[in-house]
Structure formats: structure tokens, C-alpha cells
Chains A and B, each alone.
Chain A
Amino acid sequence: MMRALTWHGTNDVRVDTVSDPEIINPRDAIIKITSTAICGSDLHLYDGVIPGVAPGDVLGHEFMGEVVETGSASDLKKGQRVVVPFTISCGGCFHCKQQQYSACDNSNPAEKQDMSATLYGQPMAALFGYSHLTGGYSGGQAEYARVPFSDVGPIVVPDHLEDDQVLFLSDILPTGWMAAENADIQPDDTVAVWGCGPVGLFAIQSAIVMGASRVIAIDHYPNRLALAKQLGAEIIDFRETDVREALMEMSGGIGVDAVIDAVGMESHGFAIDNMFDVVKQKVGMGADRASALKQAILAVRFGGKVSIPGVYGGMTDKWPLGAMMEKGLQVRGGQTHVQKYTKPLLEKIEDGTLDTTFLISHRLPLEQAAEGYKNFKEQQNEWTKVILKPGMEN
């Protein structure tokens, strides 16, 4: 038996004793977890707005650890230290072969594909520790995890790098990087980023590495804005300043070249459950909730680029479709193709191009995970990123 953070209902997560994971398929591996983080998207589960989560589900999709058991077709070795991508991908299907790993055809169990296929036209791939919409796999906020397709996902990390330096290869670093890549940044570009949570901060850092001449960060938490500034961004507090006006002035009346929405449904509660609730959307609740993205579409210049790493699940109304079409915008989004980025980003961590530790605010033992969730939700200014350590003393 092992200890694991389990979901029981809205605002109710607990560290429980549950059964140990086992090797089931040949390509599986079992990982003993040394570090795991709470993600902003975990707060949706905490808020109880994601459908298809069952009491007792083990949460967590950002984790790393040591290989302790391998299936007959795994190429990992016991004792190796690995970081595990949050997307579960087979590596052999049409999408994986094009490095569109988060669109894997084969990771979501057949009997669980119907709901997302109905919502989106085709089924979603599987993710760790999330809703049964994405497979219902046990997550990594636990002592151990079963990792399918272990010959494709986990990346072996060298011993001289600390957990804190490499853990975020599992999700938020590649997610921030892909967000900047989706903004197709050119050397003279001015890029505006909505949201200075972990993904927004990594998108800012990535945009600067990719050569953006100017990056403007938008948020309202002073501490998070300070982190953005420390990375080299100019900042706008949307509570103090008219954002559109400010961006037009800062871009010399042209509009910014690229915009990145790293807010998504998260901060305003525009939640995945809305996809089942067309009525709710029609009375305008959805309208306010995509406000960052709407503002971004108006702020970007004609022919500009719109990147959406922020998570959306359903539909919205009062969409500025006219602006999108008339301005000839390029819009890109998607769950992160993590496996595509782990190796090149590990190299950038090793050579010092990227720092991943600056946003970590708290490190807690796994046993205090519930407290971590509560504070990450309620004290966003101070609690910027929480890492849970199963082995840490209470």
C-alpha cells in the first residue's frame, strides 16, 4: 500500500492509503516519486468543475522519480532517474509520428474515448491524474505511479541536476515554451502575455530566449508581476491600467505582434463543465470567462499571432469572430506535445539558458498536500508554485 493525494469532492482532497500500482502492460514502468508539483489545472479538479472525476482518484500530472520496476518491453532500467511527461503517448500512431504527442490515438482506453469524441469530434489522448475524460489514469501526487509507454515518455536526467531544476520538464516548462513557439516570434516582435502563473512566466522566459525584442506581462498579483519583471519583461497591472490603451501606446499605435493567453479558463472559472451546459453559456457566463483571450485578440495587430496555452474545455459566446477574420490572425493552441520538447529543453537547463527554479515558492511533504492545494488556491500572490516531496520529513 502507498500514500497518495486523492480527490473526494469540491475543496476536498486528502492523503489516503491506496493500493500500490503494478505493471500491467509490457511497456509499463513503475516510478518511485521523488518530486511532484501542484499545477494550476489541478485547481479545477479541486474546485469540482471538471466532469468525470471520481472519489478516490489519485491526482497529479507533474512528477519525477526513480524507476523501480519495468515491464518486459520497457527500455528503462531500475535505478534510473526520470521526469515523466503529463501526456501519455504511444509513440507509434499517426499523431505521435508527427510529434503531435498530445493527440495520441492510443493512450486513452477505448471505452473512455466516447465523451471527448462527442465534445470535440475526435477523442482526446490520455493525461495522468486528471478526469476520466482523459483516461482516468492514477496520477503522480503519490509515492508510486504506473507509467504506460515508458519507452516513449520518461526522460532520463543526469544526477548533477537537482529535482527542482528538471521537474517542470513534465508540463509547465514545455507548455510555456510551446506557447512561445506557437506565437511564431520574430526578432523585432513585441509579445504580450496574459497571466503570470507558472506557464505565463515560462512563456515569457521562452519568448525572450527566442529573441523577442520586447515582452509585456499582464497580471494583477504584484509578486507574480515582480517575477515577470525579473525575467526581463515589462509589466502591466490590469487593475491599475487600461490594458488595450497601454499596449497600443507601447507598440507605437500598431498593436502587438503576438499575444499569448496563459490565463485560459483557470482564473475566471470558465470551466470544462460548461461544455455540458449550453444554457449557462448562453446567459453570458461564458462571455466574461474568456475575457483575457478576447482582450488579446483586440490588442494584437493586423496579421498578428495568437497563441493559446491556457486551457479551455467548452464553448463561449460573444466571440470577436469579426476581429479574428478581418485582422487575418493566426491562432494556435493545444495541449503540449511534451515528448517533443523534453530533450531540447533539458539541454537548455543544463547549459543555463533556462532557469526553472525561480518560481518555486513552497516545498512540502506529500502528507501536507491538502494544505498545499488550499494555499495555492487562496493565496496566489505568495504561493506561486508548490512542490510535494514524498520522502520529505513532516
Chain B
Amino acid sequence: MSQNYKIGAGLGGVVLTAGAIAFGAFLSNRHQNRGYDDAANHTKRQPEGYNAQVGRSVTIRKPRAELFAFWSDFANLPQFMENVEAIEAGADGASTWRIKAPAGQAVAVKTEIASKKQDVLIAWRSVEDSEIETSGEVRFEDAPGKRGTRVSLMMAYDPPAGALGRAVAKLFLREPQVQARHDLKRFKMLMETGEIATSARTRDETRAAKQENG
């Protein structure tokens, strides 16, 4: 029972994590073009059983350095990441992400910085003994003309084996994509407007209030 529960929570965490964070990320082969056209790998039609990989780009009308600086401080990320409760910094660039899981649970994922290049990219991955195996990368490129910066978020994970794994993968491929998109849109709103749009009429109806009140 306790073992199953743990697995369940872990898998739920994967699902939520994916989008939320956009974290995770990123298969080492991201830049190895798998086809002959110029499209990003995560937009390719994926054969059954291929590692789950989601990605999304947005264009944000702000300078690359400003966006990179904001993202570099992981403590900022929960502001726009729906399912991340908190990110605590540890030693040597390691951090612990607290991810919301179903039924009011939370899952902790320990990550380390895999790669970081000033104003260009930040990549992270779960540490070896982590419950969830995942990796992520956010990349910043100048957009054409005065359009600002193109921000691309990639994340990947290795689906656990077996039927359960496939079920989770199926879930993962639907929800995380949506979460990644929403999180990136909120990041864009925060950077371009200083706030995150809500159509709530009262403070009690906001996303944040609902999350706090369960």
C-alpha cells in the first residue's frame, strides 16, 4: 500500500511537474535534428514509445538579459508556474522543487543545474536518487527586429516501464503540454505587463486565493 501510494504520488508529480516547470528538461538530443526539415524536434510527430518531450516557445517583448536574470532566480518561478509551490535553493546550484500532487499532496524533486550560459540558457535535471527522473531547459534568443526575446522551454522525462508507465505517459503528453503553455504565457504576462491577467471580480475568486484555500 505504502509502496503503491508512493509510486502514485511520484507519477502524479511527474505529470504536474512537466508542465509546471517546464522543468525538466531536455533531452540531450534536443539539437540533434531527427528529420530533414527545420522544425523543432518537439513538434515532430512522435513514434509510439518515444521519450516524452514537450516544448513551447513564446516571444516576449523584453531584453534577453532581463528575462534571463529573472529566470535565474528559481525562487521567482512559482509566481507563474501553476503547480510549483516553492523552490528552495540548496548548495552548488542544487534546488528542491515542491510540486503539487493530487489530493493535496506534494512531491519534492531535487534538481541540479546541468548547464548555464549567461543570457542564453539554463538547463537542469533531477539528481540521481530523485523520485522523478526529469530534465528541463529554458533558452533565450533574440527575436527579429524589436520583437524582444524568444523564450523556449523544453522538458523531458523517461516514462516508467510497464502499463502504468504508459498510462502516465499518455496523461503526461496531454496535460504537461497544456501546463507548459499556460506557465509560459503567465511568464510573458508578468514580464510584459508586471502582472498576471485574471478575470476574477473579487480577490477570493483568483487562482491564488483558490489555491491557498484549497
Chain A residues with a Cβ under 8 A of chain B: 18-22, 24-27, 58, 73, 90-94, 97, 105-114, 126, 132, 135-138, 146, 148-149
Choice from B186, B194, B195, B202 contacting A110 with Cβ under 8 Å: B186
Given known contacts A24-B203, A25-B195, A109-B197, what 14 new A-B pairs fall within 8 Å (CB)? Answer: A21-B201, A22-B201, A25-B197, A26-B195, A73-B194, A94-B59, A106-B197, A108-B197, A109-B198, A110-B181, A110-B186, A110-B189, A113-B185, A135-B197
Minimum CB distance partner of B59 in chain A: A94
- Given A110-B182, A111-B182: A24 in contact with B206 (beta carbons within 8 A): yes
- Give, as a whole number of angstroms, the nearest-CB distance from A203 to chain B: 30
Determine the distance from Cα of A146 to Cα of B183 in the docked complex, in whole angstroms. 24
Choice from B181, B185, B189, B202 contacting A21 with Cβ under 8 Å: B202
22 CB contacts below 8 A, A to B, read: A24-B202, A25-B195, A26-B195, A27-B194, A90-B193, A90-B197, A91-B193, A92-B61, A93-B192, A94-B61, A94-B147, A97-B61, A105-B188, A106-B193, A108-B197, A109-B196, A109-B197, A110-B183, A110-B196, A135-B199, A137-B199, A149-B193
Q: Which 8 A-B pairs have the closest CB atoms?
A: A110-B185, A25-B195, A110-B182, A137-B199, A90-B193, A138-B201, A106-B189, A136-B199
Chain B residues near A20 (CB, 8 Å)? 202
Determine the distance from Cα of A58 to Cα of B148 in the docked complex, in whole angstroms. 37
Scan residues 146-194 of chain B and give those whose CB is less than 8 A from a CB of chain A: 147-148, 178, 181-183, 185-186, 188-189, 192-194
Minimum CB distance partner of A107 in chain B: B197
Chain A residues near B39 (CB, 8 Å)? none
Chain B residues near A92 (CB, 8 Å)? 61, 192-193
Determine the distance from Cα of A106 to Cα of B186 in the docked complex, in whole angstroms. 8
Choice from B188, B189, B200 contacting A24 with Cβ under 8 Å: B200
- Give, as a whole number of angstroms, the nearest-CB distance from A89 to chain B: 10
